[in-house]
Amino acid sequence: MNDDHLHRFAQKVVELQEQQRQQVDEQLMGEVARELGMSEDELARIRDQSRTCKERARTLRAAGNLDQAIEELETGWVFNPLDVEIAYQLADGLFTRAQRGGAARQEEWQRAFDLCRRVLEIAPAHADAPALLNAIKNGDPSKRSTGVPVLLIAVAIAVVGVALLGVLAWLV
């Protein structure tokens, strides 16, 4: 398979999707491939490579190798930027890794959010994406307060309240 074909194919499909001129689907991907001079065999190998990456990523993730799973998903995404399950798994992996912290935490959180939104745009009835998007929104580190935790404030109010009641009882 010609690497130039692969690169141009992925670039064209993503470009069409981002422009949202039309719904990008398998038929359109086939048309783009033919326009770029790719054979049906090359297009089939692209799909096979994407599926292979997705399966390896599932196996790696199940074995606890999140970083390697994300690498496989990134590769699969290059081969097929419209695979909703790759996008979902990549969003979930990036979200999980972002929760662990690290230098790229905010960037990975944002990318997970963007990918999950894309999944819902392509497949609004996706079973797991709404819950993941909600988790990403609720756990976004850019929206977390760095102030005093609410529980600590509540405990302090309760302690002060009990102390005031004790003083009032002593005075009466």
More confident residue, 31 or 5: 31
pLDDT recorded at residue 163 = 55
Residues 143-160: tens digit of each pLDDT: 443 444 445 555 556 555
The pLDDT-based confidence of 46 (bands split at 50, 70, 90) is confident
- Structural domain count, the chain: 1
Cβ atoms < 10 Å from Cβ of 60: 19
pLDDT recorded at residue 34 = 83
More confident residue, 94 or 7: 94
Domain that holds residue 95: 3-171
pLDDT recorded at residue 144 = 45
CATH number of the CATH domain containing 18 = 1.25.40.10
Q: What are phi and psi of 11, to 5 degrees?
A: -60, -45
pLDDT recorded at residue 145 = 39
pLDDT recorded at residue 155 = 52
Question: Which residue matches tokens 């977390």?
Answer: 144
pLDDT recorded at residue 102 = 67
Mean pLDDT of 134-139: 90
More confident residue, 152 or 75: 75
pLDDT recorded at residue 89 = 97
Cα–Cα distance measured from residue 9 to residue 55, given in angstroms and rounded to the nearest whole number = 22
Mean pLDDT of 163-168: 58
Reply yes or no on whether the pLDDT at 108 is more than 80: yes
Give the residue among 113, 128, 44 at the shortest CA–CA distance from 79: 44
